[in-house]
Amino acid sequence: HYPLRRQRQMCIRDSHNNDLEITLTSILKIEKFEPTPFYGIVITCKNVRKVRLVWALHNERKNFLYQLSLCAPHNLDDLFAFAHKQAQVIDSSSGWGIYSPFDEYSRQGALNSGWRISTVNEKYEVIPTYPSHIVVPSRLDDATLREVAKFRSKERLPVLAWRSMLGVALCRCSQPNVGTFQKRSPEDERYLEILAHMGEGKIYVLDARSRVNALANTHLLGKGFEKVGQNNFYKSAVLKFLNMENCHVIRNSWLKLQDLCIARSEKRYDYDASSEESLLFEDDWFYQVHLTGWFHHLCQLLKGTLEIVNIMTNEQCNVLVHCRY
């Protein structure tokens, strides 16, 4: 076996001219192993793919690893983003102007319908993790936006993400810093009231977390969620929890699924296993997949998506989505 460099892919060709292509950026790690009397490596990919290569001689493996090291780009110009350019010549200094927020939100019809582009974050000083230009209601000045940012986790105030052809807005932000003592922000409350009346007089706040996790953030981190309803602070808002787990739980679920897929791939090539053993393994494998919770997470994501679509389509109310950040 030896690798051939093909732009962003590694092509492994054996003595029978059979090719196996692996995208370089999909490689997670490469490990050596020595199943006596051979010499091998295991290439683990980020897409749950695992490739084993075995050689009879130590020098053959050493040569392969050396050839593989040559596949990695040694300077920035060799990276895919730079090596593959458009046919037309674009001045590198004008690259940041290829995407225009003004053109995009004009296309959506937002800038003529009560929205404006604010440059309050032009130097990334107000909201370091937001773009320099954000789309907000025209009725709010930049001074108000600064106050709202102070009341939101990581300063991520509500901004327009997308506007439908019906004029219904999908906005995003982070959780409010209400804490145990239910701190308030008149500017933040006014912001959501404006968003509500830019639609059908009501705004849905969809918190991606479960109520239990949101309450934990309230008491442990000084953050939380909006108090909604006619007798509370956000009078025109309706709060719903989408019951999704946090990123750490979902990452662990994915890693468990990845381990199971790799284990199944290895078992498939265990020629010493009897047909009965293989069937038992398959039955247990599907049960173990269930225990990872991965399909539950996908289900919750799709249910949350459907909730947003139904609100925006059937009720034509504006939606504000946030989680912990």
**Active site members:** 323
Farthest CA pair distance, the chain? 78
On whether the CB atoms of residues 108 and 163 are closer than 8 A, the answer is yes
31-36 own/partner pairs: CB under 8 Å, 24+ apart: 32/61
Report the SS3 class of residue 125. coil
- The DSSP call for residue 181 is T
Strands, DSSP E only, in 103-231? 115-118, 134-137, 159-163, 169-172, 203-207
On whether the CB atoms of residues 136 and 145 are closer than 8 A, the answer is yes
Q: Is 254 exposed, middle or buried, given 0-12, 13-18 or 19+ CB atoms closer than 10 A?
A: middle
Helix, strand, coil shares of the chain as percentages rounded to 5?
Answer: 40, 20, 35
User: Shortest CA distance to 99 belongs to which of 133, 136, 135, 126?
Assistant: 133
On whether the CB atoms of residues 27 and 45 are closer than 8 A, the answer is yes
What is each CA distance from 67 to 6, 36, 64, in whole angstroms?
Answer: 13, 24, 5
On whether the CB atoms of residues 111 and 117 are closer than 8 A, the answer is yes
